[in-house]
A and B are shown apart, each in its own frame.
Chain A
Amino acid sequence: MYEGDVRDSRCIARIINLAYRFNCAPTLIDAQAAAHATRLRIAFSGAPDAIVRLIAQIGKIVADEAFA
């Protein structure tokens, strides 16, 4: 499960695409838009080590996306 805020909700699409490259698939996608960010909860099925790497990559995407 990844849980965090994203400034630009387009990066949710990027995360979902990335999951498939790791041979994972989203099992839960919950995005709640607020004034300046979107609260994202997303869970995946897949090999445990792939999910670990995927979550790490998501952290990088979200950090770059929020960079200001």
Chain B
Amino acid sequence: MTGAEAVLSALEREGVDVMFGYPGGAIMPLYDALYGHAVRHVLVRHEAAAVFAASGYARTSGRVGVCCATSGPGATNLVTGLLDALMDSVPLVAITGQVRSALMGTDGFQEADVCAITQTATKRNVLVRDAGRIGDAIAEAFALARNGRPGPVLIDIPSDVLKTLVPRTSGPRSIVAARSGPVAQPSAIAEAIALLRDAKRPVTIIGGGVRSGEAVHAYRRFAELAGTPHTATINALGAAQAGDPTFLGMVGMHGTKAANRAVQTADVIFALGMRFDDRVTGRPDRFASGAKIIHADIDATEFDKIIRTTVTLHGDLDVTLTALCTELCRAPVPRFDAWAEQARALGGPLPSDRVDGLAATDVLDRFFAAIPRDSIVMTDVGQHQMWAAQRARPAHPRNYATSAGLGAMGFGFPAAIGARFANPEKPVFAIVGDGGFQMSFAEFATLKRYGTDVRVLLIDNRNLGMVRQWQELFYDERYSATNLSDNPDFVAIAHAFGVSAARVTDTDDLGAAMDNFINRPGPALLHCACYPAENVWPMIPAGMTPDELMEARA
């Protein structure tokens, strides 16, 4: 078989059912092998969409997402999505074609040193010069993508290597069995429980590790046994049991008042599978300054990176939480019901601006109240991302995703397409803003081609709204390059791609339009022409603390 056929055999051995990609010269041998092959290829309309779709597939399924692209510009168009996956710990394997071996280093047509370019955007990348190594390289890539803290791996293969004949083998050499991860020391578990037992105002913050570590069940058990008020980063929305009265909502810059104030008031913090991102901590030297920090993570480099910890629990989060639960069952801690009640009282309803026209917050309130419980929602980046995160109550962290760490606009729509391929039985929605959507709406063609049932909720405020908000608040209302009042006719665009679409401009029409959008099957766009100057509240300005929290204007 050829090297290209060896690639597909290796993907089949890994159980890959779909890959997202875009062809080109150097990767033509792989596309030739794909012709009529069992591994399904989904043609997107830009390589960036391929990697975001693979990411949406991985985030919502827990399986490794796969994408491919050709050399040079094809490969460089993957870079943002790879870094996004690295930041959010998403397991991906990207396969790129490279110019033929003899051309490498000659500035050949569509040549790029993609391994050098993606060195800091992947856990590892590898240039495969020997076709006999392809099976092993792909097996290693999948294992590494999943191992420990998940992330992306890139394999770059010159076109002549893809054409080289190699012996047909039954599989790679014996590598890459699943590794057992690190396990938190029993003494550290005991120390953490001792701190909790002595605490008066403990708070738990759950992060994306609960999703990548498949620790949701253990986390819900822990929340029940520990009884602390708890909060989540954006990557962990859905981790809390539905209706859990001790859950305070999202923490961070646009988190709830209750969550941020409780964290700031805490005397002990359980930080579980989270990395103290600056959008959570604001000003690290004043973040929860009265609290002892218990930090659990599978990645030891996260400890003491931003916040000094009292106890570190280095290990697989599911195992760590199970050990904590065992200890809590053996010797229960006092209930923190009074503190949980007090923490909840630190908050209040989400504040919102008074608007003249359709409010984005009303659109999203109605959307989240109406969607089925098992829906998957992917968001893009910007104001709508924060409004959505404040309101979303997903059934599970795998039912909700966004480009969190990198904040890559253009993510939401293609990621939702990938999510739908991974979850064909679930309703899948993309919430996008008018800025990010214009980076990705060519993927309507992908929806149309495959009949992919993704519904796109477009929050169009004719502005790059989050930047506009910062210009209003922190740059003396100097609105530089954020006005998008000349936006195209999005409904006409959808129709041009053969996708059904409707527009709503008035609050009175929102209910019927939303019902139709949610309940009528098939790909669709609901274009919501919203008031342009609505802001996201509450807000803790960058580098500040919850004491400096800003609320809606009167």
Query: Residues of A at under 8 Å CB distance from B?
Result: 8, 10-11, 13-14, 17-18, 53, 56-57, 59-60, 64-65, 67-68
Contacts and interface: CB of A to CB of B under 8 A. Distances in A.
A49 B176 CA distance: 35
Nearest to B122: A64
A22 to B, nearest CB: 11
Given A11-B119, A68-B175, 20 more contacts: A8-B126, A10-B115, A10-B116, A13-B116, A13-B119, A14-B119, A17-B120, A18-B120, A56-B301, A57-B301, A59-B301, A60-B300, A64-B123, A64-B144, A65-B124, A67-B143, A67-B144, A67-B147, A68-B136, A68-B176
Contacts of B304: 53
Contacts of A17: 119-120
B299 interface: yes
Contacts of A18: 120
B512 to A, nearest CB: 52
A56 B300 contact: yes
A66 to B, nearest CB: 9
Contact of A53 (B147, B299, B301): B301
B330 interface: no
B353 interface: no
6 contacts: A10-B115, A13-B116, A57-B301, A59-B301, A60-B299, A67-B140
A50 to B, nearest CB: 11
Given A13-B119, A17-B120, A68 B140 contact: yes
Most buried by A among B123, B175, B299: B123
Interface residues of B, number: 19
A12 B147 CA distance: 22
A64 B126 CA distance: 12
B123 to A, nearest CB: 5
A38 to B, nearest CB: 16
A53 to B, nearest CB: 6
Nearest to B305: A53
Contacts of A13: 116, 119
Contacts of B126: 8
A14 B144 CA distance: 18
Interface string B284-305: 0000000000000001110011
